[in-house]
Amino acid sequence: MSRRFRWVLIVTIVAMLLAVAIGRALIARRSAAVVADKAASAPAQAVDLTPGDVARATRTDLVLTLPVTGGLKAVNSAVVKAKVAAELRELLVREGDRVAAGQLIGRLDATEYEWRLRQAQDQAAAAQAQLDIAERTLANNKALVDQGFISKTALDTSISSANGARASLQAARAAAELARKAVKDSELRAPLAGLVAQRLVQPGERVPVDGRIVEIVDLAHIELEAAIAPEDVTALRVGQPASVVVDGLAQPVAARVVRINPSAQVGSRAVMAYLALDPVPGLRQGLFARGTVELRRRPALVIPARAVRHDQSRPFVLQVDGGRAVQREITLGELGEVDFGAGRESAQELLSGLAEGDIVLRATVGTLPAGTAVQLPSRPPAASAAFRPASAPRP
């Protein structure tokens, strides 16, 4: 085979392969165009929405509130302390026991004080005997002075002796009363009715004067101690209603502002406010609580705060318009909370961007491109049924 023939054969084969490749590419491009045309002509698949994915812009009363946090504290509590230094002989109560006011809850060893009482009583008896002698002597000397047997100076001496004996008797009786009080102070009694919160000493330990033995709290009256920022105190008033969520309790507890401290705390400059909680089983001193104080009410157009999106330069919502999700820029007002039909949730005031009755998508639907087809649930979102306090407004 000549060289020329080989080159002609090679060129022919390459040309045939190129023709086959070009033909396949044209067929693939034509098939893709057909598929694209079919996809474009087919209706878009709509995103099915649940009742929890949508909400309706509602005009209702917006309650502006102030959030508060703090610990619960009993209004009435007391620590039983030792009034005398002695060994704790017995303690009749433990943590959680209920006690009545004046109930005997323990005893200190009063042996030393009982002997001191006996000593003081004997001294008082001796002083009484000395006074009796001095008074008899004084009576005799008065008779002798009248008869002229002794001088008036001797009578004055008898009077002074009687007065001294009387003063000694009074001092001895006072000492006996102090000793009797020390014996009585060895008995430990509850100063108020309540529950034993702490048992700080065990029998057999020696307790100094003012040593802490038992703490008693009265859970009938519980308050929330909350630190309020200086800029929020001006809106707070005694008597304002509040709702408090306590750790461990399923339902919120109603409360009201009863006192506001006139002085700010050193360092933080916060002002302490005290909220009285309604009596509810399960309240305990020391529990952490979060609450909201209702400051004022006013009508406003609101939507759920979770429907507001902030991933662009201005806040916006996804509104359902004509079966599609459409972006709408909005102007926000203050923050509150509304019952949109599924329980309390944070609500945002709208100043512009939507009208009453417009349907918006909550954050539960995730990110949807503008223009996405959506299918509303069979049960449309209802208007707000009621308004309840929520978190604090922030300008």
Whole-number pLDDT of residue 54? 87
pLDDT, tens digit (0-9, with 9 covering 90-100), for 166-225: 999 999 999 999 999 999 999 999 999 999 999 999 999 999 999 999 999 999 999 999
Instruction: Determine what percent of the chain is predicted with pLDDT higher than 70.
Output: 86
pLDDT confidence of residue 389? 38
What values do phi and psi take at 291, rounded to 5? Answer: -150, 175
Q: Mind giving me the DSSP string for 291-327? A: EEEEEEEEEEEEEEGGG-B-SSSS-EEEEEETTEEEE
pLDDT of residue 282: 87
- In whole angstroms, give the CA distance from residue 389 to residue 297: 10
* Measured CA distances, 103 to 13, 97, 297 (Å): 116, 12, 49
Residue 334's nearest CA partner among 307, 382, 299 is 299
Q: What is the pLDDT of residue 55?
A: 87
Q: What pLDDT does residue 387 have?
A: 38
Specify the pLDDT at position 5: 66
Tell me which of 14-18, 51-55, 233-237, 281-285 is least confident.
Answer: 14-18
Mean residue pLDDT of the chain comes to: 84
Compute the C-alpha angle 309/311/314, nearest 5°.
Answer: 75
Chain segment 292-321, per-residue pLDDT in tens = 898 888 888 999 888 999 888 899 999 888
**Predicted confidence (pLDDT) at residue 388 exceeds the cutoff of 50:** no
Query: What is the reported pLDDT for 382?
Result: 57
* Residue 32 scores a pLDDT above 80: no
What are the residue ranges of helices labelled H in 186-286?
230-233
> Residue 22's pLDDT band (boundaries 50, 70, 90)?
confident
Give residue 118's pLDDT band: very low, low, confident or very high (50, 70, 90).
Answer: very high
Confidence (pLDDT) at 34: 56
Mean pLDDT lowest among 101-110, 249-258, 351-360, 367-376: 367-376
Average pLDDT score over residue span 245-267: 92
Determine the Cα angle at 245 with ends 243 and 247, to 5°: 160
User: Chain-centre distance of CA 74, in angstroms?
Assistant: 12
Q: Which residues of 335-347 are buried (b: 16+ CB within 10 A; e: fewer)?
A: bbbbebbeebbeb
Q: In what order do the strands lie in the sheet with 206-207?
A: 187-189, 104-108, 86-91, 206-207
Residues 6+ apart with CB under 8 A from 184: none
Categorize the per-residue pLDDT at 47 as very low, low, confident or very high, splitting at 50, 70 and 90. confident
Contact between 223 and 289 under an 8 Å Cβ cutoff? The reply is no
Q: Is 60 exceeded by the pLDDT of residue 39?
A: no
Percent of the chain with pLDDT over 90: 48
Q: Tokens 């060895």 belong to which residue?
A: 186
